[in-house]
Structure 1
Amino acid sequence: MKKIVAVLTFVIVLVSCQEQQKIAFVDNTEVVSKFDKKVDFEKTFQVKIDKFNKKADSLQQAIQIEAQLFQTNSASMSKKNAETQYQALLQKKQMQDYQLRAEEQSLNAEGQKELDTLVKQVKAFVKEYGKKNGYTYILGSNDAGSVLYGAEGNDITKAVIEALNSESKEEE
């Protein structure tokens, strides 16, 4: 009987001495959206978008003016001449649309590439943050539900955002 009690005591001591795992979670969306580099990128990228939109509007207005002018003058033109000018105007509009689509796709690709880079940077930072602060796991919380519940005390989102932005400023 003494041996059983001794073994049970030994097992209880071992279990109670087992290292506790440090687990926390962060709101992925909030960390990325409040990352200063992302906020700055969005501001500068919005300038590019606005510039593109102004250019597109300007080109659209110019082609509309040409179309109105053609419509006004077409009645006094020969049928062949009117058809030729109409085809030229149509081709010009198609080329303009193609150019604008290509520029828009390029702009979208540039924006997505930068966002992907920022997300990778955040992930790498969270990994290092976890190592430095002794976390066994840092889970990501988002709308998809990877963390359905977490005690508020385990939410390190604000601390990670502050540390991330602080480190980012030091790099500049």
Structure 2
Amino acid sequence: MKKILSLCAFALVLISCQETTTSKADFKTGYIDTSILLEKYNKFTDANEKFKVKSEEMGRPIQAKAQQLEAEMANFQRAAQVNGEAWAQQKYGELQQRQQALLAEREQILGKIDGEAGKLKDSLVKEVKKYIENYGKKEGYDYIFTTSEMSVNVIYAKESYNLTEKILKKLNEEYKATAEKK
């Protein structure tokens, strides 16, 4: 009886140890350096350039107001000597209020710029992730990992597993084709 139970337990162990998934020979994996992808993908660089121009345009009115305030402050120092202390205190208070309002407006515009930049980057990252997911499915990959300077998920991999340049080339080709259609 003990021998039969031992044989059944041994058979159960053997059966549970059998590989039921793909063998190592069929296993296909790769990785992408997202730092390089973000740096060299033309759609990212074009979007960054467009956004830089837009943020400069958004900041121009604040710069003009700041320059005007600086000029008024320079004039204030000369006029304070002529107009007396009471006038100088009143005018200084007004200039400080305008400076505080200008700083608040500047912070609001910077917040808006940061928000728009975040949305743009998020949408582009989602688009690239979806592309990589579809690429992996189409090419039969089991896993595609990411690595970058800031977040290292792959500490070592053979260079032959690096898909960055392949995917970057395909992304740039597709982006160029869609940009030419527009």
What's the TM-score, normalizing by structure 2?
0.77
CA distance in 2, matches of 1:141, 1:79: 64
Percent identity of paired positions between Structure 1 and Structure 2:
26
> Secondary structure of 2:145's match?
strand
The answer as to whether partners of 2:28 and 2:143 remain within 8 angstroms in 1 is yes
What residue number does 1:133 align with?
Answer: 139
**Superposed CA offset, 1:33-76 (max 9, x none):** 22221110111112123335554443322111101111111122
Residue 71 of structure 1 is aligned with which of 77, 82, 96? 77
> Secondary structure of 1:150's match?
coil
Aligned length: 158
Aligned-pair RMSD on alpha carbons? 2.2
**Superposed CA offset, 1:132-161 (max 9, x none):** 001111111222321111111111111111
Structure 1 gap segments, 5+ residues each: 1-13
What residue number does 2:122 align with?
Answer: 116
> Secondary structure of 1:148's match?
coil
The answer as to whether partners of 2:59 and 2:109 remain within 8 angstroms in 1 is no
Give the deviation of 1:170 after TM superposition: 4.1
Residue 23 of structure 1 is aligned with which of 19, 29, 36? 29
> Secondary structure of 2:82's match?
coil
Give the deviation of 1:93 after TM superposition: 1.1
2:47 aligned with 1:41, yes or no?
Answer: yes
CA distance in 2, matches of 1:83, 1:50: 35
CA distance in 2, matches of 1:160, 1:20: 22
The answer as to whether partners of 1:25 and 1:155 remain within 8 angstroms in 2 is yes
> Secondary structure of 2:154's match?
coil
> Secondary structure of 1:25's match?
strand
The answer as to whether partners of 1:32 and 1:122 remain within 8 angstroms in 2 is no
The answer as to whether partners of 1:27 and 1:140 remain within 8 angstroms in 2 is yes
What residue number does 1:162 align with?
Answer: 169
What residue number does 1:149 align with?
Answer: 156
- Which piece of structure 1 moves more, 47-56 or 143-152? 47-56
CA distance in 1, matches of 2:177, 2:58: 33
What residue number does 1:11 align with?
Answer: none
- Which piece of structure 1 moves more, 117-126 or 59-68? 59-68
Structure 2 gap segments, 5+ residues each: 1-18
CA distance in 2, matches of 1:141, 1:88: 53
